[in-house]
Amino acid sequence: MRTKITWPQEGYAPITMKRTVRALFGQTKAVRFHYYASGNQVDLLQAWQTGHNYEDGRTYHASITGTYGRAH
């Protein structure tokens, strides 16, 4: 499964992180993202939040890209 998270930045392209994970049939899996933002990136995110009712602006996407193992 391919996962992606984005954070908006005022006036710039959003910060984007992607990860590919595997999970067994019927299993759920937490996908953790860690990003060390610069002071400028924090300022741009906060500027975006100010203009959008202080929402966090994050978006999440996940898509199944293939299967492996026995068929169910």
Query: Which pLDDT tens digit goes with each residue over 45-70?
Result: 999 999 999 998 999 998 988 887 77
Show the CA angle centred on residue 55, arms to residues 59 and 32, nearest 5°: 40
d(CA 27, CA 58): 25
d(CA 17, CA 3): 8
Q: Specify the higher pLDDT residue, 67 or 30.
A: 30
Looking at the chain, the whole-number percentage of residues with pLDDT higher than 70 is: 97
39: left (phi over 0), alpha (psi -120 to 50) or beta: alpha
CB 17 within 8 A of CB 34: no
Task: Look at residue 46 and give its three-state secondary structure.
Answer: helix
Q: Specify the higher pLDDT residue, 44 or 25.
A: 44
